[in-house]
A and B are shown apart, each in its own frame.
Chain A
Amino acid sequence: MKTKLIRSLLFLVFIVLYPGALFGQNPSSSPVPQETPPVPAAPRPVSVPKPVEQTLKNGLRVIVIEDHDMPLISTQLLIKNGAEVDPGGLSGLADLTASLLTKGTKTRSAPQIAQEIEALGGVINSGAGWDASRASINVMSTKITPAIEVLADVVRNPVFKEDEIERLRQQYLDSLSVAMNDPGTLATFVAARVVFGDTSYGHPASGTPASIAKIQRSDIVDLHTRYYRPDNAVLIIGGDIKASDAFKLADARFGDWPKPATPLPSRSATNSRKDTKPRIVVIDMPDAGQAAVVLARTGISRNDPDYFRGIVTNAVLTGYSGRLNQEIRIKRGLSYGARSSLEARRETGPFVASAQTKNPSGAEVASLLVDEVSRLSNEPLKEAELVPRKAVLIGGFGRALETTDGLVAQISSLALHGLSLDEINNYIKNVQAIAPADVQRFAASRLDAKTANIVIVGNAKEFLTELQKRYPNTEVISVSDLNLDSATLRKATAAR
């Protein structure tokens, strides 16, 4: 029997609502007395599946987490580098390399790889994000042996054929042309450049039209040789499989993956980004159907001692009933949804608050984002507001562990950052320990809105005058002049 959701729900008994605040306040003078909701029963106990691990002779770390609820297995090969190692001018190299893994090996063509995995009812995915590249497969448990053979083959033996590179290059360029016409996506690209400048988290992980066009086969082969090695990798297998069987499979398919004699590439901090003067940037897209509004600044790294203060602080702002959505959607009807994210990476990652709104409301929504982030540091937070926001985090964490994919993703994230796998058991305790004063302190010291940047992609003439009242130094860049390859954001002629 599955024992999931950890102890999260044991804690929920303490999260009883504040009933007085919830009902009985309708003005209607109803003849029947109003009802209050029935109080919850005692919560039911639960426990956690425990990950086990071995390290193969070649340095490959193998982690297995058993979960026999459904006949499914999810497996992931994690490489501990990703888009942050894209060389200057070659944005998208790590992602293109990871995507090419499934496009041909010494013994299998791209169509054969797709055919083999899909005939098993499985899905194979590969790609690179920040700090990590991943190849993963999810199949029914009876199909794990052939599936993991394909996984090992694509990671170890990709051939990066020229015609496959060209095909994928064209697909990347085409999908970039779609992304660059979507105000929301474009705003996140611009925000990364504004926050991180020309440092290693500044470029789009999926590349830019200019960088994708420049990438050579030799760049791809070099990146693969340098980073795809057993002592820079972690194999995670989760689901309906015995740990002993999983270790045997891992050894059979990855045990003879040779460890190079060269030392591992250094992982020194190359990205320490000091906050610069905040920028207010408008990308003018005259036909935009909505304005995408983003507040962005530096946040925290995953190993920051303030990590749990950070994620709890963010939870006060984001989520359906978080402050941003309360103020922007629920109270004012200005957006379908407002949210924030605090993405903790190996080095300091971004904090982003965002919403899409009709063009004329662009400046108003920008002000609301700024004001809500500021309010968190300026006003004390009440325990009564914090308790339910912590419950949201804890509940979401528990649900993420209900599927084999979710379980593997959680373990993968801990492994990537060199954290103890026991952290999966400490998450709830760590969240619960955060007090209102911690949130206020974190917001004031780490999320200061005064040093945050603002990016709006939309039809500038509908909101610019209003925006300039608060921000006279707004930079306006026409979408046709936008250059994501440079921190200036402008094409060379314009920058001169």
Chain B
Amino acid sequence: MKRYGKFLALLLTLGLLTATVAQLAIGQVSMPQMNFRDRTLPNGLRMLSLEDHSSPTVAIQVWYKVGSKDDPEGRSGFAHLFEHMMFKSTRNMKDEMMDRLTEDVGGWNNASTWDDFTNYYEVVPSNYLETLLWAEADRMASLTVDEKNFKSERAVVQEEFRSRVLAPPYGRLFYAIERRSYTTHPYRRPGIGSLEELDAATLADVQAFFKTFYRPDNATLIVVGDFDPKQLDAWVDKYFGRVPKPDHPLPRVTVKEPARTAEKRFQEFGPNVPLPAVAITYLAPPAGSDDAYALRVAESILGAGESSRLYQSLVYRQQVAQEAFAQADMREDPGLFILGAILASEKQPIEVERALLAELKRVQSEPVTQAELEKAKSQLLTNLIRERETASGKADALGRAAVLLADARRVNTDAAKLQAVTTADVQRVMQKYFNDNNRVVITYTSEPEKPAAGAAENGKGGNR
């Protein structure tokens, strides 16, 4: 349901990360520019806005540059827990009043916590725009969570942990990926946290986190939809303009993940795992880097759809996997490129690992075909058009460009960059980032096969 972080979305959403529309012809289709306005208030709040009168609704989003990587020490999962608190009381709003202002008038709201940012979003009938601007500004300026709310909502987040990590057969595998893939960077702590570290969190932590990160000069307000620009500016000045900019500095994560120098292997276990799984991870360049375009194309050629190389090879021809995936999980700092599969019955993890690596090596040793390249671009561009069918989709694209890629204009330029990727670019980036000495291999099998106590390494953020 709502207020979820990236966890479930892990395998599904990131394919859209390069999504952009430019004045770009695909066949005879010409896509319009997103002619957004970009202004910054004296208190540092940035506002991006785009008129779209196709339906009488408006999408309002506030992106804060604080994410799971900013979880305090010993408080893994805190940024996400905090995100839940932002729906509790403020000086002028009762608990859950955000739901009264959205859901009760036919709109909706939600929020999600990512590694590098946290975004809060609403869609409402456009006559409610002023109301929602007031409400978002109000929760930026004041938050008055009490002990009872805090404990009750923390229990909800712990149930969320159980629903995402403990209950599904492969929950523990996805939980292990970040813990095993990073040694140093705070990305090593899964954003959902752990039951123990969530238990350790206090109300004082909530107020400290709010004071440190929730401030106008750390926020981007995005408004897309049916509004009058002059009226919008006046309302934003009125409600957000009065939120003070604090004097204290904004802490930023500066830790660098060291380059990998040798293959590392991990075995993970879970109960009720009917078929083993394998995941192979590599460090990927930052989301904003120039190599990201070619990696996105490679991800698509390897993993998107039933004509993809992994499906055709592992699932269709060799039938060693029930499901195979490639995922470029790119972030502000080095992210992950993940190849993985759930095995077909009676196959061994080592066969599947070899089959995944063989496909990786094939993309490195010979150029992909022109037809595959064109197919990948067609898929990526169609996805981005689909995303922009709605005002909230357009707002998402603006937010990612501005906050994750640090350049809002990329909503209008990325498509051309993606179009310019060549087969040689794909081969070059695959050779540049992936080799035999920089991968982490995780195998995941059923609990009963677990070696005797103590033999398996028990990482931080364990289950119970």
Contacts and interface: CB of A to CB of B under 8 A. Distances in A.
Nearest to A25: B94
A143 interface: yes
Interface stretch (A249-257, A399-407, A447-455): A399-407
Interface in A395-414: 395-396, 398-399, 402-404
Contact of B26 (A118, A122, A142, A336): A142
Given A140-B385, A142-B28, A333-B151, A38 B131 contact: yes
Interface stretch (A42-50, A226-234, A258-266): A42-50
A170 B319 contact: yes
A269 interface: no
Interface stretch (A10-18, A211-219, A433-441): A10-18
A356 B167 contact: yes
Interface in A108-158: 110-111, 114-115, 118-123, 138-143
19 contacts: A9-B106, A30-B91, A34-B92, A37-B101, A44-B226, A69-B389, A72-B385, A111-B312, A121-B375, A170-B344, A171-B322, A289-B165, A290-B166, A292-B167, A333-B159, A337-B2, A357-B159, A399-B123, A402-B55
A333 B198 CA distance: 14
Given A37-B101, A71-B31, A114-B306, A329 B345 contact: no
A391 B106 contact: yes
The 3 residue pairs across chains A and B that have the minimum distance between CB atoms: A289-B166, A395-B106, A333-B155
Contacts of A356: 159, 162-163, 167
Contacts of A35: 92, 134, 138
B390 interface: yes
A140 B100 contact: no
A4 interface: yes
Contacts of B271: 287, 289
Interface size class of B (residues with CB under 8 A): 35 or more
B359 interface: no
B152 interface: yes
Nearest to B151: A333
B33 interface: no
Contacts of B345: 170, 173-174, 177
A121 B105 CA distance: 37
Interface string B21-34: 00000111101000
Contacts of B323: 175
B89 interface: yes
B106 A37 contact: no
Q: Among the interface residues B29, B105, B390, which one has the most CB atoms of the partner chain A within 10 A?
A: B105
A344 B134 CA distance: 40
A381 interface: no
A428 B99 CA distance: 21
Interface stretch (B43-51, B178-186, B272-280): B272-280
A118 B380 CA distance: 10
A28 interface: yes
Contacts of A357: 159
A495 interface: no
B92 A184 contact: no
Contacts, number: 277
B267 interface: no
A404 B389 contact: yes
A69 B56 CA distance: 14
A331 B152 contact: yes
A120 B27 CA distance: 10
A388 B104 contact: yes
Contact of A321 (B103, B138, B162, B307): B103
A320 B2 contact: yes
B162 A358 contact: yes
Given A72-B386, A140-B27, A336-B160, A184 B96 contact: no
Nearest to B26: A140
Given A38-B134, A70-B385, A43 B125 contact: yes
Contacts of B93: 22-23
Contact of B57 (A1, A5, A28, A72): A5
A113 to B, nearest CB: 8
A72 B386 CA distance: 8
Contacts of A142: 26-29
Q: Among the interface residues A8, A38, A285, A391, which one has the most CB atoms of the partner chain B within 10 A?
A: A38
B103 A319 contact: yes
Contacts of A140: 26-27, 29, 381-382, 385
Given A41-B130, A175-B322, A23 B159 contact: no
A114 B101 contact: no
Given A41-B130, A110-B316, A356-B163, A178 B382 contact: no
A353 interface: no
Question: What is the predominant secondary structure among interface residues of chain A facing chain B?
Answer: loop
A404 B107 CA distance: 20
Interface of B: 1-2, 26-29, 31, 53-57, 89, 91-94, 96-97, 99-101, 103-108, 123, 125-131, 134-135, 138, 144, 151-156, 158-160, 162-163, 165-171, 226, 271-275, 304-308, 311-312, 315-316, 319, 322-323, 342, 344-345, 371, 374-375, 378-379, 381-382, 385-386, 388-390, 447
B54 A44 contact: no
Contact of B163 (A22, A336, A388): A336
Contact of A333 (B154, B168, B382): B154
B156 A181 contact: no
Contacts of A17: 100-101, 104-105
A403 B394 CA distance: 13
B318 to A, nearest CB: 11
Given A35-B138, A38-B131, A143-B27, A388 B305 contact: no
Contacts of B160: 336
A288 B344 CA distance: 23
Contacts of B106: 8-9, 12, 15, 391-392, 394-396, 398
Contacts of B305: 114, 118, 123
B125 A403 contact: no
Contacts of A5: 55-57
A335 B164 CA distance: 12
Contact of B56 (A34, A43, A287): A43
Given A17-B101, A43-B56, A335 B89 contact: no
A157 B138 CA distance: 60
Given A170-B345, A289-B171, A332-B152, A15 B103 contact: no
A176 to B, nearest CB: 9
Q: Among the interface residues A12, A121, A174, A287, which one has the most CB atoms of the partner chain B within 10 A?
A: A121
A488 B171 CA distance: 31
A2 interface: yes
Nearest to A4: B55
A305 interface: no
A182 B169 contact: yes
Given A41-B130, A43-B127, A336-B159, A2 B92 contact: no
Contacts of A223: none
A289 B162 contact: yes
Contacts of A110: 306, 316
Contact of B131 (A37, A333, A358): A37
A401 to B, nearest CB: 9
